[in-house]
Chain A
Amino acid sequence: MSSDGGSNSNSNRKGVRIGVLSIQGDVAENVAAVSSALKAPRGFEDDAVLQVKTAGEIARLDGLVIPGGESTTIGRLSAAGGVLDAIRERINGDGMPVLGICAGLIMLARSADDRTVGRLDGQPLLGVLDVEVQRNAFGRQRQSFETKLDIKSLAISNFKGVFIRAPVVCGTGPDVEALCELPPGVGGGGGVGGGDNDNGDAATDGGGNPRRRIVAVRKGDIIGTAFHPELAGDLSIHQHFVDAVRRRKRRD
C-alpha cells in the first residue's frame, strides 16, 4: 500500500487506477465490468481496479465508479468517514472522471427528492452535477423494467437499459448534457412531479407538455446513468468511461 503511493511513481505509470466505491451496493459487478473494459482492446500491465472505501484510497485514483445500491446508505456512511469530501475535492479540484450509476447518479446530483416521500433535505450528496434527480421515479420494484436505449452522442445503440427502482433526471443546469431520454410511455410514464402516488399518467409539466425523463447525463468527465450498465452484459458505457480516464491521465 505504501510502496506505490507517492506522486513520483504515479507519473511513471502508464496504466490507470480506477476505483469502485465499496461502501454498499453492486461493487463486484462494476469491478468486473471495469476490469473487462480495461483489457479491451488491450491495456497496460499496471492498470488496476480497486475497491475503495476510505478518503486515503480516493486520493490515489485516476477515476471512480459510484455503483448502484441504496443512496441513503452510501451517502450516510461515506459522509461519516470523510469519503464524501474527499471525492468532491478530487472531482472539483483535479477533474477526476467519475461514473455514477443509479444510486451513484443520485450521489452526484445537486438535489434529490423522492416520488412518494417528497423533499429529502437530510440526505448527504456530492452536488458536483447541476441536476435535479427524482428518486424511485418509476415507482417500486414491481415497476422496475428493461428497455433498449440509444445514446447517440456516445455512439451507443440498442443498449439494454436495466432500470431497478431507478431515479430520473427531471432538470439540468446549462452545463449538463442530456445523453439519453426515455420516449413517452416507456417505464409506465413514471418520472413525474413528486408528492402524488403511482399516478404515472400525469407525465406532463404545467403546460400540458410531456415531462422530460433524462436517464443519462454528462458534464465533462462526469457521467451519470439512471440504469445499470454493469448488469447489461454490454461494456459500451464502462468502455467509454475507461477511455475518458485514460485521456485525462495522458493530459495530466
Chain B
Amino acid sequence: MISLSGQRGDAAGIVRDKSGSADSMRGTARLKRGFAHMLKNGVVMDVTNTEQARIAEEAGAVSVMVLDKLPSDVRRAGGVARTASIKVIEEIMDSVTIPVMAKCRIGHVAEARVLASCNVDMVDESEVLTPADESHHIWKWDFTTPFVNGARSLAEALRRIEEGAAMIRTKGEPGTGNVAEAVTHIKKLNDEMRVIRAVRESGDRQDMIRLAREFRVSYDMLDQAAKLGRLPVVNFAAGGIATPADAAYLMSLGCDGIFVGSGIFSSDDAAERARSIVMATTYWDDPDVVCEAQKMIDERQSMLGLDVKTLDLRMQERGASA
C-alpha cells in the first residue's frame, strides 16, 4: 500500500478540520507521501516560465519545477541562487493543470513558508540553490505542504525522511548534462540498502545500532527501512539527465521516476526532447520504444554537458554533512 514508516502523528503540519459531524485531516504523512506516489513512473521538468510549463504539460510531464534559472545557468552565473519569483510561480500555477513545485534554499525556513503559503504542491529543499544553513535542514513535519529532498547515500536519504521529507531524489550533479553522478548515487543507495537488509536478517542488533549511529538516524528509522527493503518514500532520479536513454537507464536501476533539470530547456529541441524523455520513462523496459524515443532527438542539439571531475562547484556536496 503506502509505507508510513517514521511518520509523526504529532506533526505540526497536520491540520484537523471539523465541519458538523464529519472530520477531515490535511497534511498527514499518508497525504504527503501519497502525493509523491501519484508522480511515479513520471517525469518532473524544470521550467522558468509559463511557455516552458505548457510545453512540459503538453509533453506529458507529471509536474513542473519552477526555478529562476535552469541549474546549468545557475552554474554559469555564479552568485547566490534563491527561490524563484513568486509572480512567475503563480502565473505558472494558473496556466497548467499538473502539480507545480518550487525550490527553496537548504535550511531556509522562511523561503519554504513563502512557497507553502503561495500554495505550491511540493517544495524542493534543493542544493541547486545556495544553502542558507550549512548545518540544518528544514524540519519538514511543521508543514502541511510536502517536501522533496536530494540525497546521495542511504544515510542522507533516511536523515531527510526523518526530518519529514515525503519524497527523495538522487542529487546527481545538477546542471551538467552528465548522468554519471546520479548513477553513482542510486547504486550507492541500492548497495547500502542490501547491507542493512542483510544485517537486519542476521538478527545482529548490535550491528544495527552501529549502523544507525554511522548513518546518524534513529534505530527505528533504520530498522523500518531494512524491513521494508526500500526507502519508505518514493525515490526519483535527478541531476544530469539529458536524453531518453539516460532516463531509461535510471529507471532500470530501480528509480520511481525522473527529474529533468537543464536537460530539456537547455537543448535546442525542447518540445521533442520532453516528449521523448517521457516516453522512455514509461517504456524504459522496452528497448524498441526507447530507441524510437532516442530517434526523436538529435544528439547535436543535446546540451554540451560538463565532466564532473573538472567542476569548481560541486552542488551535490551542499547539505550532505547535515
Contacts and interface: CB of A to CB of B under 8 A. Distances in A.
B26 A117 contact: no
A96 to B, nearest CB: 22
Contact of A164 (B31, B62, B279): B31
B37 A185 contact: no
Given A53-B283, A73-B61, A146 B30 contact: yes
A69 B62 contact: yes
Nearest to B25: A146
Contact of A117 (B20, B27, B94, B120): B94
Interface stretch (B80-88, B95-103, B185-193, B205-213): B95-103
A5 to B, nearest CB: 18
Contacts of A164: 31, 34-35, 38
B26 A114 contact: no
Contact of A186 (B22, B41, B146): B22
A116 interface: yes
A24 B63 CA distance: 12
B144 interface: yes
A152 interface: no
A102 interface: yes
Interface residues of A, number: 51
B42 interface: yes
A148 interface: yes
Contacts of B116: 142
Contact of B41 (A25, A145, A148): A25
Interface stretch (A10-18, A27-35, A40-48): A27-35
B119 interface: yes
A126 B59 CA distance: 19
B321 interface: no
Contacts, number: 148
Contacts of A148: 22-23
Nearest to A116: B94
Interface-centre pick from A26, A68, A135, A148 (highest chain B CB count, 10 A): A26
A185 B97 contact: no
A26 B282 contact: no
Given A73-B278, A231-B30, A141 B20 contact: no
A212 B25 CA distance: 21
Contacts of B279: 77
Interface string A147-168: 1100000000000001011000
B21 interface: yes
B62 A162 contact: no
Contacts of B31: 141, 144-146, 162, 164
Size bin of chain B's contact surface: 35 or more
A136 B94 CA distance: 12
The DSSP consensus for interface residues of chain B is: loop
B147 to A, nearest CB: 11
Contacts of A144: 26, 31, 34-35
B267 interface: no
Contacts of A184: 19-20
Given A70-B62, A76-B60, A165-B35, A24 B121 contact: no
A53 B282 CA distance: 9
A24 B279 CA distance: 11
Nearest to B62: A70
A22 to B, nearest CB: 7
18 contacts: A24-B41, A25-B38, A25-B40, A73-B60, A114-B97, A141-B99, A141-B121, A141-B145, A142-B26, A142-B27, A142-B116, A144-B26, A144-B35, A147-B23, A162-B34, A164-B31, A183-B21, A186-B17
Which 9 A-B pairs give the minimum distances between C-beta atoms? A185-B19, A147-B24, A141-B121, A26-B37, A145-B24, A70-B62, A114-B97, A73-B60, A24-B41
Interface of B: 1-2, 17, 19-28, 30-31, 34-35, 37-42, 57, 60-63, 93-100, 116, 119-122, 144-146, 278-279, 282-283
Given A25-B38, A70-B99, A233-B1, 11 more contacts: A102-B38, A116-B94, A140-B99, A141-B99, A142-B119, A162-B30, A162-B31, A165-B121, A185-B20, A186-B22, A198-B119
